[in-house]
Structure 1
């Protein structure tokens, strides 16, 4: 898996090119059909810093949450259609964040 930390402008360009959504977003995931590589996760650091303030998290916590979120997408989790899959993804995200905090990694 590769991780790219980038700007709002660059992630907006990627979002426009690959998802036909001409706006910045916090995280994008690009899965690969490869036995050795899961894919790419792209995180807007500008958006992570902004959201950390909005949600009351540290910048490290928000960046970790976005990395977890993007990684779950690479593993096949999806929240785009809402419902049970979105709830399942949110539970897994919360579980992994709690494990990180318990291990004092963030």
Structure 2
């Protein structure tokens, strides 16, 4: 587990529940923290906040997805907003699903992971793509801007 505070005012704790993340992507914790901080900065939040990001496997995420969303399958990312300002909440990612999706979409796994961390962080900040077309367009546009600043191509093109 690593914990650092970024210049954007976001403290990010990364918990590695599946060690294969480190083998598959050396420096994964640094990449995850950078993506979360970029999303926080891109949202223009100024109050100091924190987030916990867990890097798990498909089995763990499938269990949570079945319990919390009634979908008995793994998903790439789950976000659990806390409802507090100082602690935004938790994000959990499923390694096998993230890698499979990256292969299927012809993307670098590191770039796909970065996008999903940005996406999950924006959910914790109150953005939601499932509440309507206008909200989805707003969230996707913000994701694109943040990812461009990180040197990552538009994930929706």
Partner of 1:71: 121
How far off is 1:39 after superposition?
0.4
Partner of 1:36: 86
Does residue 98 (structure 1) correspond to residue 148 (structure 2)? The answer is yes
Which portions of structure 1, spanning 4 or more consecutive aligned residues, are displaced by more than 4 angstroms? Answer: none
Q: Kindly provide the CA deviation profile for residues 17-38 of structure 1, in whole angstroms up to 9, marking residues without a partner as x.
A: 1112111111000011233211
Q: Kindly provide the CA deviation profile for residues 81-102 of structure 1, in whole angstroms up to 9, marking residues without a partner as x.
A: 3411011111111111111117
Q: Kindly provide the CA deviation profile for residues 49-98 of structure 1, in whole angstroms up to 9, marking residues without a partner as x.
A: 11111122111101000000100100111111341101111111111111
Q: TM-score scaled by structure 2?
A: 0.62
Higher helix share: 1
**Unpaired stretches in structure 1, ≥5 consecutive residues:** none
Higher strand share: 2
Separation (CA, whole Å) in 1 of partners of 2:87 and 2:99: 28
Q: TM-score scaled by structure 1?
A: 0.89
Separation (CA, whole Å) in 2 of partners of 1:54 and 1:88: 26
Which has more radius of gyration?
2
- State how many pairs are aligned: 102
**Unpaired stretches in structure 2, ≥5 consecutive residues:** 1-50, 153-157
